[in-house]
Structure 1
Amino acid sequence: MSLTLKTLKILLGMLVGSSTAFAQTPPDQMDLYLLVGQSNMAGRGATDAASKPNSPKIWAINRHNEWTMATDPLHEDKPAVVGVGPGLTFAQEVLKEYPDRPIGLIPCAVGGSGIDDWLPGVRHEQTGIYAYDEMLARVKEAQKRGTIKGIIWHQGESDSSPEKKDAYAAKLADFFKRLRRDTHTEDVPLVVGTLGDFYVAKNPAAAFVNDVIADYAKDTKRVYLASASGLTHKGDDTHFDAPSARELGKRYAEAFLKAKE
């Protein structure tokens, strides 16, 4: 029995549609990585051709709990300004070491958030996001498709003031104690990043915060350090440009992979 041209077109459309849907279906089990902090984790670098690798082995869950192949920007905290951060490059570097283990990223950074904005029930004024609560909900959804294997954190600019810096160490430790308990990641490697040299140059209190971050990594089990030393900003003395954000992602991955050895 011959098929009409119209029928063939309908069948072809159904085939293309089903293959596209299949391509956007993430693996049933992935190694999950939680990306947390403020704007330099979310990313503010300019996107380019490398921002869309279209890798079927690197996925990200968005604020609507939808999985898509990971592209920059990963985060949705401030849609008008978000861009390239360290998370995607981190995933690409980890995948090189474990090519048979698909990755699921859980982007939860909130630009402009101080450490107090990461308390349960707290609404971040700039974005209206309940950072901690939304993070927990997204983690629980993501864990249906895998297990958290690592956490990367970049935050501290908003706490780099004479008024806030002295309380930062205790608050940082309390935050991670709560985070690990609530996400069942007590033994998962955590990598914390230092603030950029350029930020320290314009804000001396940031040097104190960097010391707190470095000491926390040195003194705490299963915590490792990614240095931002030598990296450059995008012209605002605050945010890494895209090349530096990607280099920072490589440094996060290097610290994480050493922890796995």
Structure 2
Amino acid sequence: MAGRGGVDKNSHWDGVVPPECATDSCKIFRLNKHLEWEVAREPLHHDIDTKKTCGVGPGMSFANAVKDSAAAIGLVPCAVGGTAIKEWARGGQLYDNMVKRAKAAIDGDGEIKALLWYQGESDTGSQHDVDCYKENMETLIRNVRDDLGLPSLPIIQVAIASGDIKYLEKIREIQKGIDIPNVACVDAKGLQLKEDNLHLTTEAQVQLGKFLAQAYLKNFLARE
């Protein structure tokens, strides 16, 4: 979710921003690490996922695809790459920072419209991680809805496209099978991977953002 599109093996981002990820200084904003709003631009997570080089992710193409549905779009980047679901447990740094940032985003007249969740590759390493994934993911959903006071918060998760081949399909099956109201899933399988066979290419990140936008517009915006 943090985005590695355009980042090479030497951790250098090529700086290429596709048209679908273009900046819109009138409509698309991001909450920076200081909890201040600024114009959103790639890489969205440059000051959030600071231990790795960030490139293009799905966030900007998502925002551009849904921006006509709102007066303005506020993106709240919280992702940290290479993390397992257990690291997002309530009380941990990653989870607590996500909730803190989400609450800051709605201070005033903001409204949280959806949570986009793209994670799971780090949970394809063992049968134990597979066995715990469903419960941990469902607990995360319940906790974030409870802590934000949004019991029906729309959540769109991604069924991952890469990981340890031995357990990849098992994690994907769990992700696609989450049966909780107002939780949708889009499938990243088939999207092009980089030469590391793990991260999506820039073009694939753009396409994933469009998938997420389609899911949001179809499953949630139409209900409002």
* TM value normalised by structure 2: 0.87
Match for residue 133 of structure 1? 96
Asked if the contact 1:52/1:70 (under 8 Å) is kept, the reply is no
Partner of 1:19: none
Aligned partners of 1:258 and 1:49: how far apart in 2?
A: 27
SS in 2 for 1:42: coil
Distance 1:49 1:72 in 2: 7
Structure 1 outlier segments of 4+, above 3 Å: 49-52
| 1:74 paired to 2:40 | no
Task: Name the structure 1 match of 2:193.
Answer: 233
Post-superposition offset of 1:79: 5.5
Alpha-carbon offset, residue 55 of structure 1: 3.0
Q: How far did residue 236 of structure 1 move?
A: 0.6
Task: Specify the alignment match of 1:64 in structure 2.
Answer: 34
Residue type of the alignment partner of 1:185: L
Instruction: State the 1:151 CA deviation.
Output: 1.0
Write the letter of the residue equivalent to 2:211.
R
TM-score by length of 1: 0.75
Structure 1 unaligned runs (5+)? Answer: 1-40, 123-129
- How much has 1:239 moved relative to structure 2? 0.5
| In structure 2, C-alpha distance between the alignment counterparts of 1:190 and 1:120, rounded to whole Å | 17
Q: In structure 2, what is the equivalent of residue 190 of structure 1?
A: 155
Counterpart Cα distance in 2 of 1:58 and 1:147: 14
State how far apart, in whole Å, the 1-side matches of 2:154 and 2:91 are.
26
Report the residue type matching 2:125 in the other structure.
S
- Counterparts of 1:245 and 1:65, CA distance in 2: 25
Equivalent residue for 1:245, pick from 189, 192, 205? 205
Task: Give 2:67's match in structure 1, choosing from 95, 98, 106.
Answer: 95
Query: Who wins on radius of gyration, i.e. which is larger?
Result: 1
Map of 1:35-50 to 2, 5 A cutoff? 41-46=1-6, 47-50=15-18
Q: Does 1:170 align with 2:142?
A: no
Q: 8 Å contact 1:78–1:111 — kept in the other structure?
A: no
Identical-residue share of aligned pairs (%): 35
**Aligned partner of 1:193: which letter?**
V
1:104 corresponds to: 74
Secondary structure at 2:113 match in 1: strand
Contact 1:136/1:183, CA 8 A, preserved across alignment: yes
Task: Give 1:149 shift.
Answer: 0.7
Q: Does 1:204 align with 2:166?
A: yes
Tell me, in whole angstroms, the C-alpha distance in 2 between the residues paired with 1:194 and 1:78. Answer: 25
Task: Number of aligned residue pairs: give it.
Answer: 207
**AA of the residue aligned to 1:139:** A
Q: 1:214 aligns with which of 164, 170, 176?
A: 176
Alignment-mate amino acid for residue 202 of structure 2 = A
Per-residue deviation, 1:52: 4.6
Shift of 1:243: 0.6
Deviations, residues 115-142 of structure 1 (Å, cap 9, x unaligned): 11111332xxxxxxx2111111111111
What residue number does 1:86 align with?
Answer: 58
- Per-residue displacement from partner, 1:155-174 (whole Å, max 9, x unpaired)? 11111122311111111101
Give the letter aligned to residue 141 of structure 1. A
* Deviation of 1:185 (Å): 2.3
Indicate the structure with greater helix content. Answer: 1
C-alpha distance in 2, partners of 1:220/1:90? 23
1:222 deviation in Å? Answer: 0.6
Consecutive unaligned residues in structure 2, runs of 5 or more: 7-14
- Provide the alpha-carbon RMSD of the alignment: 1.5
Deviation by residue 1:60-108 (Cα, 9 ceiling, x = unmatched): 0011112111111111213541111111111111113x1x520001110
